[in-house]
Amino acid sequence: MPQTAPLRTVHVGSFSITYLPDGGGVVVPTALFPASAEGGWDRHQELLDQDGKLITTIGGFLIQTPERKIIVDTGIGPVSIDFPGFGPFSGGRFLDSFTQTGVDRQEIDTVIFTHLHLDHVGWTSIEEDGQRVLTFPNAKHLATQIEWETWAGGDNPAGPHPDTVQKPLDGQLIFIQDGDEIAPGITVLQTPGHTPGHISLKIESEGQILYLVADVIHNVAQFEEMDWFVAFDMDPEVARQSREGLYEALSQPNTLVACNHFADEIFGRLTNEDGRWVWHPLT
């Protein structure tokens, strides 16, 4: 039975990348993937729980290089949210996960947002002595400009909260773009479609690579079902181009892939077997 994915650290050359679970969601599969019909899931029964629901994990990452300590995405935050027709999503464990790494919040030098959906920005700020403060007070906070401009000033329930996310970030965000090297070995790849300014990261050290693809791919079934976009993809066709445009690179040797929302295990490898994309979760 699928479950939310655990905290796990993988090594890529001299870097370590730790997945920091925050919580998860229990989702109606045909709602999350509107192009999938009930029968389509007959081929993917192992991905559903006993009630026929999809389990998604919600979390972020800590990347440690010899010089840098970087957070990528911050989960959904200490909330429970019911999206009508989809199912409940909840978080709350992100900082506990982070504490297990032994790193201090003050030590984080950079926070990168792959995009600004609510389940990636939830721990942007915390309440301290009655004040809203950035969770990682010494970090530069990075996102793309188009992503910020998509959401800023609005109050979309799928986007960054006006008080706990937008306000603390206003005037603080540093805009990044395709090809930027955020730190030695960590490069921005624009992968739009899910949101207009969605990015992935290529993380490379000593000949080993990890692609952190965030919400380019939501579920293992998508490797087989090329038409299955996610209901939250703001431009499904562009999202599909981003997704399929990455597969060749993801399937190279010495290459790991991290997909934020996978159940059970978010790290894995992709291969192409007789024209079919096959996902191999890390064991």
Applying CB under 5 A, which residues contact Zn ion? 117, 119, 215
Q: How far is the CB of 219 from Zn ion (least distance, A)?
A: 12
Residue closer to Zn ion by CB (options 117, 141) is 117
CA angle 205, 210, 215 (to 5 degrees): 145
* Per-residue tokens: 192: 């739009």
On whether the CB atoms of residues 4 and 119 are closer than 8 A, the answer is no
Residue closer to Zn ion by CB (options 147, 215) is 215
Residue closer to Zn ion by CB (options 22, 215) is 215
On whether the CB atoms of residues 120 and 74 are closer than 8 A, the answer is yes
Q: How far is the CB of 259 from Zn ion (least distance, A)?
A: 10
Strands of the 181-183 sheet, one edge to the other? 181-183, 186-190, 199-205, 208-212, 255-258, 267-273, 276-281
CA 175 to CA 173: how far, in whole Å?
6
Residue closer to Zn ion by CB (options 21, 185) is 21
Q: Which residues pair with 70 in a beta bridge?
A: 63, 110
CA 283 to CA 272: how far, in whole Å?
19
Q: Which residues pair with 276 in a beta bridge?
A: 273
Residue closer to Zn ion by CB (options 117, 202) is 117
Residue closer to Zn ion by CB (options 119, 204) is 119
Q: 């978010």: which residue's tokens? A: 266
Q: How far is the CB of 56 from Zn ion (least distance, A)?
A: 8
Q: How far is the CB of 60 from Zn ion (least distance, A)?
A: 10
CA 107 to CA 86: how far, in whole Å?
37
Q: Kind and range of the H or E element at 15?
A: strand 15-27
Q: How far is the CB of 15 from Zn ion (least distance, A)?
A: 23
Residue closer to Zn ion by CB (options 119, 265) is 119
Q: How far is the CB of 207 from Zn ion (least distance, A)?
A: 30
Query: In 3D, which of 199, 125, 140 has the Cα closest to residue 174?
Result: 140
One-letter identity of residue 224? E
Q: How far is the CB of 59 from Zn ion (least distance, A)?
A: 10
